[in-house]
Structure 1
C-alpha cells in the first residue's frame, strides 16, 4: 500500500509545510515496514538516501503523526513503533518471551471499550494499545526449553 505523494503533498500544504523527498521516503518506509521504530525507518530510508539523519526521521515522524498519516504505540520499553493510518484500525498483543507482535481487530476489545465508556465515561484510543503477555506457542513450551 504505497503512499500517495499527492495526498501527502496536499496534507502538508494544508499545514503550511512542503512535500520534500525525505518526508516522502520516510512515509513510504513506514508503510513498507508495517510496524517500525525510528531506527528501522532510518535504515530503510538510507537504502535510498544515505544523507538522511536520525533527527530528520524523528522530526518527520512527529509531523506525519500530527497530520494523521502515521500512529505510534509502544511495543517495548524502547522507542515507539510507527505504522501507517492506511492500515485498518487495530491494537497489538506482544509476547514477552518470543517478542512476536500481532495486530488485533478492535472488535475483540469491544466489550472492554463498552464497559469503560459505560462505567467510567472513558473512550479509549485502541490504536495506541499494546497488551503484553505470553503467546500460545511460548506458554505450551516446557520451562526447560525457554
Structure 2
C-alpha cells in the first residue's frame, strides 16, 4: 500500500484518527524517495509547512504508532538513528558492511525460507518486513575496500 490516498482510507477504515501531525509524517514518508530518519522527516515537514512547528517527540510518537499499525517499517542500518519507510513501498532487506558501510539491498524472497523455518520450528509468525544483516562485503573481505 503506497498511494497516499490508500493509506488515508486504510487508516480511516480501521477506525484510526488522522491528526494533522500524523498526516504530515505520512506525507513526508510518501514524498521521500529513500529511508528517512526522524530528523529528515522533520526537515521535510518544515520545508513543506514553514509556519507549522512539529517537535521530534511528536514525530517519534507518530512513527511508533505507524509502525504499530503496520504501515511503516523501522530498522537500523548501523548508524545512530533508526530509519523509516512506508511498508509495501520499500519492502526489502539490507546487507550492511561493518567496515566500509556499504549497504546492499536484497530481495525479500531470500528470507522466505527463514520465515518458513521459524514457523515450522517455533510456530511463530515472524514479521520480516525490513531487516539489516551486518557483516563484510566482498571488497572488504578481499581487502579491496577504500
Give the TM-score, by structure 2 length: 0.76
Are 1:123 and 2:122 counterparts? no
Distance in 2 (alpha carbons) for counterparts of 1:106 and 1:112: 11
Give the secondary structure class of the aligned counterpart of 1:36.
coil
Would you say how many aligned residue pairs link Structure 1 and Structure 2?
A: 143
Higher mean C-alpha displacement, 44-53 vs 5-14:
5-14
1:80-131 CA distance string (max 9 Å, x none): 2111113253222211122233332221123333333333333322114221
- Name the Cα RMSD after superposition: 2.8
Distance in 1 (alpha carbons) for counterparts of 2:63 and 2:73: 9
In structure 2, list runs of 5 or more residues that go unmatched.
Answer: none
Tell me, yes or no, if the aligned pair for 1:73 and 1:81 is still in contact at 8 Å: yes
Tell me, yes or no, if the aligned pair for 1:74 and 1:128 is still in contact at 8 Å: no
Pair 115,2 (structure 1): closer, same or farther in 2 beyond 3 Å = closer
Structure 1 equivalent of residue 55 of structure 2: 53
Spell out structure 1 runs of 4+ moving beyond 4 A: none
Distance in 1 (alpha carbons) for counterparts of 2:29 and 2:103: 16
Pair 86,109 (structure 1): closer, same or farther in 2 beyond 3 Å = closer
Pair 113,3 (structure 1): closer, same or farther in 2 beyond 3 Å = closer
Give the TM-score, by structure 1 length: 0.76
Give the secondary structure class of the aligned counterpart of 2:48.
coil
In structure 1, list runs of 5 or more residues that go unmatched.
Answer: none
